[in-house]
């Protein structure tokens, strides 16, 4: 078990190194840099800056150096925990990302928990009562859930809430808690706001997991050990919950590996539409404005979240299922 | 009794001489939902072939005085006789908000017809044509079957053109992924060794990439001055670059299993080239499976394209796609005034649903010998 975890952990820096190159190339790819768009903005507002000033700025941000020097500098700073300075906001990136990163993770985890709370019982129920009315309804809901893009669902919910109930469901906090210190009241306020975006974010995943759970359980329910247990007179619910459900869980756990990272990157769209304080909208803005170090840092954070999500599920699965440990 | 036995054997004979594809078709036919979905997809692809025939007017025709006109529903009968019409929209300015408020005036009817001549267009970009599925009898009039947007453009016609872009992107991106997946997965599985190692590591890296942020960053890196066609192909390539990995893995697995089969050994002994063995002997054995998998991949691509375009980093106006159309629905205040702007989203859901159902049906049918 320890060897398995160590192997995975050793791979992590290697992957991050590959990703850092990938991210840097992508962020550097657009023609021009932040200064060209900065000068354009200045020019459109009527002011202009002299050529020497531009050169000074270029030198200050290291934009005049060859690309690989810029890359090494960037990675070197990252390793020391320095995410660099946002060219647009003129503030340290770490400061900009800080709380929003926390809220991104909270939203994804919240959505994850919500997904499982809904999907597991729904899957169990429709497997046990196969071909019942509820099973058919759940199947239809699942198909539609998978087919609806996240942003579409968010739009419809926001529209219904606004047009018919006159309320706005955007944001994660009530105005009075916007800039407040963390407290229990603020946390409760967060929970009151977060469930809807979490549901929107998790809808496709919930639909998929319900189907997986249902299929897994159906496979298990026909096995001889279930018949034996039933013949011995175990009550139906104890029987189902104690044996087949536990076995049906394993393949479900292996879905965490792709599901959790998907939640992280999917939250970008939901957060943009529902105006949530999340690193997604921040990335979008940074990309449009060519604020490349900010965009690069956020992209790397997404990579990190993805890898950690996969790692967690690998470890969890190895812990649950000894056969996987042996292979690894 | 003897007749029944003869029937039985006739049916059995029919099954035993049927080709693999015939068996797949027979099995697919049993899924009524999948069959109905296939019909929907057929209609959508007919629109892809010629969106102009289905639209009532040019998708870019603007008129600021005809902004936010609600849906005009078609009435087929007039005094009990066949004479299709739509009620004319009459606008009144609200004296307080100064906003235009539209109402339908059933007394003023715009006569419409099917297969009528409308503004000229080029069928498949080549042949000049005028006939349109539905349109006003008087070419001076405009009708808005699905309402109009903030610039007074006809949403019905725009949806038809958006269908062309979005459905094509899904198909082309998946085709590209399939080609990449078969070639790289095939090489990986057939040759093994260090080639396999390199490709497997590449797949692993690509699979741990956070898809949506990287897609966004890549599309943001596209030069601003590219033409819509260039952007279209770039987006397609970006989508398929990450999409091929799942298929690549599957193909590799199949190749690894098939490599040991007798018929491959026989082909090798008969002196077939490697390329011929792969293309003529191995690929056909799992082609139906690949088709099923890719028909399940198309809806994912469609959702991705729609989301990218909706965020403003995919297809860009003046090109029209479902995502571009939904950008008009971004503002909740606008949406409260003009809820019909959400209709392109309904089409996205219908298309994705249809693809999923057809894909499920194909997946079940792709192995006709299974129970």
- The pLDDT tens digits of the residues spanning A208-238 come to 889 888 888 888 888 888 888 889 888 888 8
Structural domain boundaries, residue A186: 100-293
Confidence of residue B368 (pLDDT cuts 50, 70, 90): low
Q: Are the Cβ atoms of A151 and B310 closer than 8 angstroms? A: yes
Which residues in chain B are contacts of A287 at CB distance < 8 A? 216-217, 220, 313
Q: Is B306 on the interface with A (CB under 8 A)?
A: yes
Q: Rounded distance, CA B319 to CA B152, Å?
A: 17
Q: What CA–CA distances, in Å, run from A106 to A76, B331, B370? A: 29, 27, 45
Q: Is residue A82 part of a domain?
A: no
Confidence of residue B8 (pLDDT cuts 50, 70, 90): low
Give pLDDT, residue B5: 62
Q: Is residue A7 part of a domain?
A: no
The count of structural domains within chain A is 1
Average pLDDT, chain A: 81
Q: Which of A59-68, B101-110, B326-335 has the lowest mean pLDDT?
A: A59-68
Q: Which of A148-157, A294-303, B128-137, B226-235 has the lowest mean pLDDT?
A: B128-137
CB A209, CB A255: distance < 8 Å: yes
Examine the pLDDT at A328 and tell me if it is beyond 60. Answer: no
Task: Tell which wins on pLDDT, B3 or A1.
Answer: A1
Examine the pLDDT at B370 and tell me if it is beyond 60. Answer: no
Give pLDDT, residue A169: 73
Q: What CA–CA distances, in Å, run from B198 to A17, B44, B207, B244? A: 17, 40, 14, 16
Which residues in chain A are contacts of B312 at CB distance < 8 A? 288
The verdict on ipTM greater than 0.90 is no
Give pLDDT, residue A276: 82
CB B230, CB B318: distance < 8 Å: no
Q: Is residue A157 part of a domain?
A: yes
Average pLDDT rounded to a whole number, residues B285-303: 82
Average pLDDT rounded to a whole number, residues B213-236: 84
DSSP H helices in A63-183: 67-79, 93-128, 133-147, 150-165
Average pLDDT rounded to a whole number, residues A87-112: 81
CA proximity to B314, closest of B153, B166, B160 = B166
Which residues in chain B are contacts of A149 at CB distance < 8 A? 303, 306-307, 310, 345, 348
Q: What is the CATH number of the domain that holds A267?
A: 1.10.3720.10
Task: Tell which wins on pLDDT, A48 or B352.
Answer: B352
Span A12-46, pLDDT tens digits: 888 888 888 888 888 877 766 666 766 776 666 66
Examine the pLDDT at A47 and tell me if it is beyond 70. Answer: no
Average pLDDT rounded to a whole number, residues B313-335: 84
CA distance A56 to chain B (A): 26
Give pLDDT, residue B350: 92
Which residues in chain A are contacts of B352 at CB distance < 8 A? 146-148
Q: Are the Cβ atoms of B313 and A29 closer than 8 angstroms? A: no
Q: Where are the domains of chain B?
A: 64-150, 159-366
Q: Is residue A21 part of a domain?
A: no
What pTM, to 2 d.p., does this model score? 0.84
Q: Read off the tokens for B98.
A: 């100064």
Examine the pLDDT at B198 and tell me if it is beyond 80. Answer: yes
Q: Is residue A2 part of a domain?
A: no
Hey, how many other C-beta atoms are within 10 angstroms of the C-beta on A119? Answer: 24
CATH for B159-366 is: 1.10.3720.10
Ramachandran bin of B153, using left for φ above 0, alpha for ψ from -120 to 50, beta for the remaining angles: beta
E strands, chain A, are none
Three-class SS of residue A47?
Answer: coil
Span B41-71, pLDDT tens digits: 999 998 888 888 888 888 888 787 777 778 7
| DSSP 8-state symbol, B279 | I
């Amino acid at each position: 078990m320890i060897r398995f975890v160590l192997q995975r952990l050793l791979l992590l820096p290697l992957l991050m190194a590959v990703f850092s190159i990938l991210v840097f190339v992508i962020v550097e790819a657009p023609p021009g840099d932040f200064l060209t768009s900065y000068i354009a903005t200045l020019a459109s507002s009527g002011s202009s800056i002299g050529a020497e000033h531009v050169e000074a700025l270029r030198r200050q941000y290291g934009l005049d150096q060859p690309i690989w020097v810029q890359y090494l500098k960037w990675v070197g700073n990252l390793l020391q925990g320095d995410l660099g300075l946002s060219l647009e906001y003129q503030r340290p990136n770490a400061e900009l990302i800080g709380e929003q990163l926390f809220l991104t993770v909270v939203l994804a985890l919240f959505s994850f928990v919500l997904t499982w709370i809904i999907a597991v019982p729904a899957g169990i129920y429709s497997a046990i009562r196969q071909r019942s009315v509820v099973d058919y309804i759940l199947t239809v809901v699942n198909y539609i859930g998978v087919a609806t893009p996240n942003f579409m669902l968010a739009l419809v919910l926001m529209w219904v809430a606004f047009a018919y109930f006159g309320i706005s469901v955007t944001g994660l906090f009530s105005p009075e808690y916007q800039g407040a210190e963390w407290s229990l009241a603020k946390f409760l306020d967060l929970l009151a706001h977060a469930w809807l975006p979490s549901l929107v974010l998790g809808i496709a995943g919930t639909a998929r997991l319900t189907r997986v759970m249902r299929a897994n359980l159906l496979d298990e329910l026909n096995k001889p050990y279930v018949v034996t247990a039933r013949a011995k007179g175990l009550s139906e619910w104890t029987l189902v919950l104690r044996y087949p459900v536990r076995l049906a869980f394993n393949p479900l756990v292996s879905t965490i590996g792709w599901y959790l990272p998907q939640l992280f990157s999917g939250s970008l769209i939901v957060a943009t539409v529902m105006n949530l304080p999340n690193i997604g909208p921040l990335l979008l803005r940074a990309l449009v404005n060519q604020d490349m170090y900010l965009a690069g840092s956020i992209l790397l954070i997404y990579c990190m979240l993805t890898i950690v999500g996969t790692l967690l599920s690998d470890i969890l699965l190895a812990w649950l299922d000894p056969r996987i440990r042996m292979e690894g | 009794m003897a007749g029944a036995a003869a029937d039985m054997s006739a049916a059995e004979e029919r099954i035993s001489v049927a080709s693999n594809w015939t068996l797949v078709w027979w099995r697919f036919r049993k899924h009524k939902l999948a069959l109905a979905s296939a019909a929907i997809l057929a209609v959508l692809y007919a629109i892809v072939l010629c969106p102009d025939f289905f639209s009532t007017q040019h998708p870019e025709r603007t008129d600021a005085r005809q902004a936010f006109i609600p849906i005009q529903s078609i009435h087929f009968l007039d005094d009990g006789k066949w004479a299709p019409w739509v009620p004319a929209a009459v606008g009144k300015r609200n004296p307080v908000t100064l906003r235009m408020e539209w109402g339908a005036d059933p007394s003023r009817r715009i006569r419409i017809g099917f297969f009528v001549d409308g503004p000229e267009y080029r069928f498949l970009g080549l042949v000049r044509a005028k006939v349109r599925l539905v349109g006003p009898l008087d070419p001076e009039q405009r009708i808005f079957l699905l309402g109009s947007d903030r610039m007074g453009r006809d949403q019905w016609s725009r949806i038809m053109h958006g269908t062309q872009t979005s459905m094509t992107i899904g198909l082309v991106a998946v085709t590209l992924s399939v080609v990449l997946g078969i070639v790289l997965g095939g090489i990986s599985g057939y040759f093994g060794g260090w080639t396999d190692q390199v490709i497997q590591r590449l797949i692993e890296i690509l699979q741990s990439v956070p898809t949506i942020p990287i897609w966004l960053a890549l599309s943001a890196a596209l030069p601003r001055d590219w033409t819509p066609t260039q952007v279209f192909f770039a987006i397609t390539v970006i989508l398929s670059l990450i999409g091929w990995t799942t298929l690549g893995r599957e193909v590799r697995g199949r190749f690894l299993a098939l490599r040991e089969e007798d018929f491959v050994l026989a082909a090798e002994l008969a002196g077939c080239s490697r390329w011929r063995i792969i293309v003529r002997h191995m690929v056909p054995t799992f082609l139906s499976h690949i088709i099923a998998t890719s028909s399940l991949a198309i809806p994912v691509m469609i959702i991705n394209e729609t989301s990218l375009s909706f965020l403003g980093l995919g297809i860009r106006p003046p090109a029209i796609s479902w995502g571009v159309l939904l950008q008009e629905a971004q503002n909740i205040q606008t949406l409260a005034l003009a809820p019909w702007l959400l209709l392109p989203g309904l089409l996205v859901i219908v298309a994705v649903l249809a693809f999923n159902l057809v894909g499920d049906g194909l997946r079940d049918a792709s192995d006709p010998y299974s129970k």
